[in-house]
Structure formats: C-alpha cells, structure tokens
Structure 1
Amino acid sequence: MTKIDFKKTIDAYRAPRGRFERLEVPAMRYLMLDGHGDPNTSPLYAASLAALYPTGYAVKFASKEELGRDYVVPPLEGLWWADSMDSFTTARDKSAWKWTLLLMVPEWIDHDLVNAAAARARTRAAAKRGMVQAALERMGEIRLETLTEGDCVQTLHVGPYDDEAATLARLHHEFIPDQGLRMTGRHHEVYLSDPRRVPPERLRTILRQPVTHQH
C-alpha cells in the first residue's frame, strides 16, 4: 500500500524562503475547529489541539483499514483574523486574534467516515486518564468543510512565530498593493515544524494570503 505524503504532491505545501510567490491553491477539505484568543495562553487553543490530532489520526487509520488508502497526516494549519489586522503586524495583540485550526483530509474521505472515526476517537479519549474535558467537548465540535482560496501569495518563514510581523507587514503593505492586488480571505499559516521538537529559530512556517485584483 502506497502512503501518500501531500507535502510532496501539493504545491501549496511548498514555499520559497526570502521572497513572495503567487500561486493558485486548489480547493481542499479540512477538519476544522474555531476559537479565539492568544494561542500561547488560551485554554481553548490547547483543548482544540488536543481534540484535532486524535481525530485526524483516527480518520487516517480508518482510511487505511476500510478503504485501503494510506497517507501521512498533513501538517497543522491555521486561519487567523481580527477586527483589525494591525494586531498581527504592529500591536501583536494576540488576545484579539480569532482562528480556525485545520487538518487537511484527502478528497476520498467522506462525512460518514469522518463521523465514525471521530466517534471512535472520542470514546478512546474518554477512557484515558488525564484527558481534559474541554478537549473531549471540542472533539464533538470538529467539522469537515472545503476551503477554497484560489489566487494566493505565500512565503516560507523560518524562525519564531513572533518574528513573522515584519514579513507580514511587507506582504500586506508592500508586495500585495505593488502587484495591483488586495487581500481577500483570511491569513493562513501552515506549520511544517513541530514546536515541541524544533527550536524556535528553526521553525518553518508557510505564510499565505489569498488575494484578488484591485478594482
């Protein structure tokens, strides 16, 4: 059985370091969870991560066992927005941030498989000692949706998450308007590195912004 690694087959999972690249991102399907607040301190964010990963792996194993199709669970992704996008580039007021956490699933996965796998994941999680109740509740809120971004600009950021502001400022206020474009949709990040295993200075994160032509 071939195991597909989407980081190697989908162009949207690759980005250049040190420059901005424009590309067409295909419609993709994700497990999604919404929330708000500082990702470093928010209990909701921590509970969402604790809910999303077991569900994502349950879906992957169900695909392998029931459909005979195996794949590497893709990296965590996040959509980020706020009432004022300056909270990402200047003030960095993380308490004002809103987010949707994402785990991509292949197009052959349907809602029935996701629902059954998610139920099994919740049952297993509930039996574990120390499983936070908030995470169990969040597991019940995961949904499967398609995200269509289309025309986008992205780059690879290497370093701590808090060092993204300067790159985002150039993207938002220089590159995009200079190309006759304007921002549409939500700021999108793809976390290619695991912050539990990789030091901050080596974290690799794709920064993506959907765009459209100015009118």
Structure 2
Amino acid sequence: MTTKVDFRKALDAYQAQQGRFRVVDVPDLTYLMIDGHGDPNTSAAFGEAVRTLYPVAYKLKFASRRELGRDYVVPPLEGLWWAEEMASFTAARDKSRWDWTLMLMVPAWISHPLVSTAIEQVRAKDAPARLPDVRLETLSEGRCVQTLHVGSFDDEADVLAHLHHEVIPELGFRMTGIHHEIYLSDFRRVTPERRRTILRQPVTVGAVHGGWGRGA
C-alpha cells in the first residue's frame, strides 16, 4: 500500500502555536497559484480562484498516486497578501486595496507536464472561470517569523501589529517579502471564531523597517 504523505505533519513550516512567535527557515516550496485584487469577501475573483485551484490540485494528487505511486494529502489553502500601504492590513483594514495570490502547495516530484495534463482534464469536464490563470511557481521565503491566530480574520490586526512593530524588531530583523497566511481551517466550513490561521512574515537581518511589495 502506498504511504500517504501529510505535509502539515511532515513539514516544520506548517507548525505554529497561538501566542508563540517562531523563527522558521522555510524551504523552497512549489505551488499552484492564482493572482487577484480586492476584498476577498466581495470579490468574485477570489471565490473563483478557490473553486479553480482545488479541482486541479486533486487531479494532480490522483495522477501522482496512479502514475508515480506517490500519494499525499492535499495541503491547506494559502495566501500571499500585499498593498501599497501597509496600514491597509493593520489599521484601516481597507480590503478593497488588497492584492493577493491564492496557493495550494504541490510536492516537489510534481512536474510541469503533469500539471498541464491535470489542467486539461479539469477543462474537459467543467472548466472553472479562472483556469487559464493557474500557474506553477516556486516560492522562496527563507527565514520567517510566524504564529498561529485562532479566530476571525478581522481580528488579526492586533496580532500583526505586534508582530511587525515589536516582535520582528526585537529579534533584530526587518520585514521583507510578502505577508503569508496558511488556512489550517477551511474557512468555507468553519465558523470565524474557530478558524486556525498561520500568520507568516519573511524577514531579514537589520533594524530598518521593510516593505510589503513583491520586490521588498
């Protein structure tokens, strides 16, 4: 019987505790990705991105088990979030100004041809609206600071402010890269107060405050 890999248990990068801020060296990981903009609560593109990523991810999982003899649990949904003004996340929370990339991690053994085949299989059955926008890309984050948030997404602001303005400077780091969230709970099914989300911020050595943009 094929052993099924659960990356939530196998990768240290998926480990976090509420109230604890960990420094984690995240390995390069490969994801199915779709980009978008706007309030995730009202943007049609956001829901379409979620409904597009999962069918492709499951086609890949089944192909991996069938053709490669390697089975795995589809990892949780993840998101990169950024805006021109960081206050859009921690103070004003103006979600209409947010840019995002939704992602589902795939194992390193998944090839581009396998992804292309999976996309064509999804297209042949009932093509989701954002299917042409799916891409396979490797994310290199390196050193990060992360914690577990339990509760509504709207209650993240205080945790993020503490992380950005106190924890990271006190550790001798500055922010770089993009704010990253890992949705351990399926927010389509779990009530807001029970949602478990890893909040991750890539960092580098230095006391100067960094940015949020892709090139930061």
Report the residue type matching 1:154 in the other structure: Q
* Secondary structure of 2:103's aligned partner: strand
Query: Which consecutive residues of structure 1, in runs of 5 or more, have no partner in the other structure?
Result: 127-134
Residue 190 of structure 2 corresponds to residue 198 of structure 1: yes
Q: For residue 126 of structure 2, what is the aligned residue in structure 1?
A: 125
Q: TM-score, normalised by structure 1?
A: 0.94
* Secondary structure of 2:133's aligned partner: coil
Deviation (angstroms), 1:54: 0.6
Structure 2 Cα separation of the partners of residues 143 and 29 of structure 1? 10
* Secondary structure of 1:74's aligned partner: coil
Report the residue type matching 1:183 in the other structure: M
- What's the % identity of the aligned pairs? 64
Residue 212 of structure 2 corresponds to residue 211 of structure 1: no
Residue 153 of structure 2 corresponds to residue 161 of structure 1: yes
Deviation (angstroms), 1:198: 1.6
Deviation (angstroms), 1:9: 0.2
Residues 89-138 of structure 1 show CA distances to partners (whole Å, capped at 9, x for unaligned) of: 00000000000001000000000000001110121124xxxxxxxx33x1
Deviation (angstroms), 1:183: 0.4
Q: For residue 17 of structure 2, what is the aligned residue in structure 1?
A: 16
Structure 2 Cα separation of the partners of residues 92 and 197 of structure 1? 24
Deviation (angstroms), 1:180: 1.6
Pairs within 5 Å for 1:15-164: 15-126=16-127, 135-136=128-129, 138-164=130-156
Structure 1 Cα separation of the partners of residues 45 and 188 of structure 2? 19
Residue 180 of structure 2 corresponds to residue 188 of structure 1: yes
Residue 175 of structure 2 corresponds to residue 172 of structure 1: no
Report the residue type matching 2:146 in the other structure: Q
Q: How many positions carry a matched residue from both structures?
A: 206
Deviation (angstroms), 1:185: 0.5
Deviation (angstroms), 1:196: 2.6
Query: Which consecutive residues of structure 2, in runs of 5 or more, have no partner in the other structure?
Result: 208-216
Residues 36-58 of structure 1 show CA distances to partners (whole Å, capped at 9, x for unaligned) of: 00000001111111111111111
Residues 120-174 of structure 1 show CA distances to partners (whole Å, capped at 9, x for unaligned) of: 0121124xxxxxxxx33x1111010100100000000000111000000000111
Deviation (angstroms), 1:19: 1.7
Deviation (angstroms), 1:72: 0.4
Q: After TM superposition, which residue ranges in structure 1, 4 or more long, deviate above 2 angstroms?
A: none
Report the residue type matching 1:167 in the other structure: V
* Secondary structure of 1:140's aligned partner: helix
Deviation (angstroms), 1:179: 1.6
Deviation (angstroms), 1:15: 0.5
Report the residue type matching 2:203 in the other structure: V
Structure 2 Cα separation of the partners of residues 51 and 91 of structure 1? 30
Q: TM-score, normalised by structure 2?
A: 0.93
Q: For residue 7 of structure 2, what is the aligned residue in structure 1?
A: 6
